[in-house]
């Protein structure tokens, strides 16, 4: 092909270049997309990756996982300096917040990681193409940038465009008073009162950031509990912990309308009994979920089918109904998690390269990065009951763990669920310090069909938080030692 089109580089500069053909074009440079591109390049494919934003990394690195965790870490340190340092004999005087520097640190973390992805693209000889992609027939991709457009073609295409926040009808984002999760990452001032719509992990994490910084935070959740998919006992423990920290909850309540009046947002509520009420806040954060980012992608023109929920339909090898066109991550069925997309990215690249690949969806962990953290994998007790499975559960509290006490953390527990006949682990649920790291041992165990006894017989260093995992496993057998 020799048709000339504009190519738009990372700096937004356009110049003439002939249309190119690749072994693989990945649309979207988020966790799923950039991992798919890198793995495919490692396997010898000639790869291009199209990204509509000016930097690589997608939502996760730029306005999702990474910046939110940076803010959570900084806000946790701020709260500790104000409330917990004295317990350790550390007197720091008056603690104040420099919000500008607080946000600048978050931006620096993001910059380091997005620059790192660009370096990995260069190392693996992946061609980054900046612009908005639209699928055409015959595995053609039109990429439009500020200086024009060009047509790319490939033997294979992977759609990895991720997801976008869901907006509630009648509650439009204005980017100032009514915001989504992206807006919450760059507020110019700490709200005096913040109302969060949605008791899922996004709302609770961002609500925790501003609660620690001094906001009065109220979470409005339509269901009768927060983090509805979580193990019930663990979810209730998180609810109590956040409530003790000062977070307010309005459960079984929905927001029926919101409007900006001057410097305030007037919010209309209705509870399960139909009682109506009004709230006023400086800022309203809508965090009710995300939906696949497929608008304008040209799926209909390319003949790609969607499922009943508007997600791209794929077969077990991630291929759509169009041969050679694949989809991964948030645009297909399954949890909208960065690590799920990454595993699918690796797997689809290997499948396209002629290898075998598989993602074990039963061992994908989920984490809520509040304080305490919550991490889960596998079945909950409710799941076992609904499926009619026999199970055994044991809970070991962190207050009995020496390492937890030495670092000043007493909340939470490790809860393991096993099959009473085979002793194989069915699920694990941790609420407490660094649960996000502790869950990895149990994910590995479940992936290899480990028994509780296998965990119990494994030597864990002392004193460590991980000993709580061992004790919980012992509890499923003859009994925990330190309880």
The pLDDT tens digits of the residues spanning 124-147 come to 999 999 999 999 988 999 999 877
41 and 154 in a common domain: yes
Tell me: do 305 and 159 sit in the same domain.
yes
Q: What is the largest CA-CA distance in the chain?
A: 74
Exposure b/e, 134-167, CB count within 10 A at least 16 = b: bbeeebbbbbbbebbbbebbbebbbbbbbbbbee
Instruction: Identify the pLDDT of residue 6.
Output: 41
Task: Indicate which CATH number applies to the domain containing 345.
Answer: 3.50.50.60
Q: Which residue among 336, 362, 388 closes a domain?
A: 362
Total domains present in the chain: 3
Q: Are residues 333 and 385 in the same domain?
A: no
Q: Residue 94 domain-assigned?
A: no
Which of 362, 381, 408 is at the close of a domain? 362
Task: Report the alpha-carbon distance of residue 399 to residue 412 in Å, rounded.
Answer: 8
Residue 18, pLDDT score: 38
474 neighbors 447 (Cβ within 8 angstroms): no
Interval 332-370: pLDDT, tens: 999 999 999 999 999 999 999 999 989 999 999 999 999
pLDDT at 9: 44
User: Would 73 be classed as within a structural domain?
Assistant: no
Which residue among the candidates 88, 358, 462, 482 is catalytic per the annotation? 462
Quick one: pLDDT at residue 175?
Answer: 83
For residue range 237-288, list pLDDT tens digits in order: 999 999 999 999 999 999 999 999 989 999 999 999 999 999 999 999 999 9
- Residue 15 scores a pLDDT above 80: no
Domain shared by 46 and 149, yes or no: yes
Is 344 contained in some domain? yes
The tens digit of pLDDT for each residue in 404-457 reads 999 999 899 999 999 999 999 999 999 999 999 999 999 999 999 999 999 999
- Going by pLDDT thresholds of 50, 70 and 90, the confidence category of residue 19 is low
Shared domain check, 201 and 298: no
Query: Do 123 and 21 fall into the same domain?
Result: yes
Tell me whether residue 436 is in a domain.
yes
Give backbone dihedrals phi and psi of 88, rounded to 5 degrees, phi first: -95, 5
Instruction: Examine the domain organization and report whether 322 and 408 are in the same domain.
Output: no
Could you tell me the pLDDT band of residue 93, with boundaries at 50, 70 and 90?
confident
Last residue of a domain, one of 256, 271, 287: 287
- Average pLDDT of the residues in 147-173: 91
Judge whether 141 lies within some domain.
yes
Same domain, 138 and 221: no
pLDDT in tens, 464-477: 999 999 999 999 99
In a domain, 80, yes or no: no
Q: Are residues 303 and 267 in the same domain?
A: no
339 is catalytic: no
Structural domain includes residue 71: no
Question: Residue 7 pLDDT more than 70?
Answer: no
312 and 451 fall within a common domain: no
Could you tell me if 160 and 37 lie in one domain?
yes
What is the average per-residue pLDDT within 392-397? 98
Residues 55 and 149 in one domain: yes
Percent of the chain's residues with pLDDT above 90: 89
CATH number for 443: 3.30.390.30
Tell me the residue range of the domain where 378 lies. 372-475
In a domain, 351, yes or no: yes
């Amino acid at each position: 092909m020799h048709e000339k089109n504009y190519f738009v580089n990372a700096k937004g500069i356009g110049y003439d270049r002939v249309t190119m053909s690749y072994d693989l074009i990945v649309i979207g440079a988020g966790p799923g997309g950039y991992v798919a591109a890198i793995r495919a390049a490692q396997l010898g494919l000639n790869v291009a990756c199209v990204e509509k934003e000016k930097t690589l990394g997608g939502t996760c690195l730029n306005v999702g996982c990474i910046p939110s965790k940076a803010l959570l870490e900084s806000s946790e340190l701020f709260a500790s300096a104000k409330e917990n340092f004295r317990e350790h004999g550390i007197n720091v005087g008056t603690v104040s917040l420099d919000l500008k520097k607080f946000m600048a640190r978050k931006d620096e973390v993001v910059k380091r990681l997005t620059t790192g992805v660009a370096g990995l693209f260069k190392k693996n000889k992946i061609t980054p193409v900046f612009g908005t992609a639209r699928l055409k027939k015959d595995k053609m991709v039109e990429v439009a940038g500020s200086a024009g457009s060009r047509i790319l073609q490939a033997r294979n295409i992977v759609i990895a465009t991720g997801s976008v926040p869901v907006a509630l009808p009648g509650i439009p984002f204005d980017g100032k008073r009514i915001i989504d999760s992206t807006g919450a990452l760059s507020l110019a001032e700490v709200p005096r009162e913040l109302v969060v719509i949605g008791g899922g992990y996004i709302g609770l994490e961002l609500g925790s950031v501003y609660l620690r910084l001094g906001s009065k935070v109220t979470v409005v959740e339509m269901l009768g509990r927060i983090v509805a998919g979580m193990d019930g006992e663990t979810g209730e423990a998180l609810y109590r912990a956040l409530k003790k920290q000062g977070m307010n909850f309005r459960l079984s309540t929905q927001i029926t309308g919101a409007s900006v009046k001057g410097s305030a947002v007037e919010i209309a509520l209705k509870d399960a009994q139909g009682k109506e009420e009004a709230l006023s806040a400086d800022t309203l954060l809508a965090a009710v979920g995300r939906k696949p980012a497929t608008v304008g992608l040209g799926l209909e023109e390319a003949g790609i089918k969607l499922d009943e929920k508007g997600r791209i339909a794929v077969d077990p090898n991630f291929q759509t109904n169009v041969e050679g066109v694949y989809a991964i991550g948030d645009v297909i069925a399954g949890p909208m998690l960065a690590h799920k997309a990454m595993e699918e990215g690796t797997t689809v690249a290997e499948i396209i390269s002629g290898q075998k690949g598989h993602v074990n969806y039963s061992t994908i962990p989920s984490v809520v990065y509040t304080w305490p953290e919550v991490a889960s994998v596998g079945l909950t007790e409710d799941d076992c009951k609904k499926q009619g499975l026999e199970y055994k559960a044991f809970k070991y509290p962190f207050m009995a763990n020496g390492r937890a006490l030495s670092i000043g953390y007493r909340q939470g527990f490790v809860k393991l669920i096993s099959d009473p006949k085979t002793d194989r682990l069915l699920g694990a649920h941790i609420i407490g310090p660094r649960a996000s790291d502790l869950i990895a041992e149990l994910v590995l165990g479940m992936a290899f069909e480990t028994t509780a006894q296998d965990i119990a017989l494994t030597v864990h260093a002392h004193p460590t938080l991980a000993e709580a995992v061992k004790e919980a496993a012992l509890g499923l057998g003859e009994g925990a030692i330190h309880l």
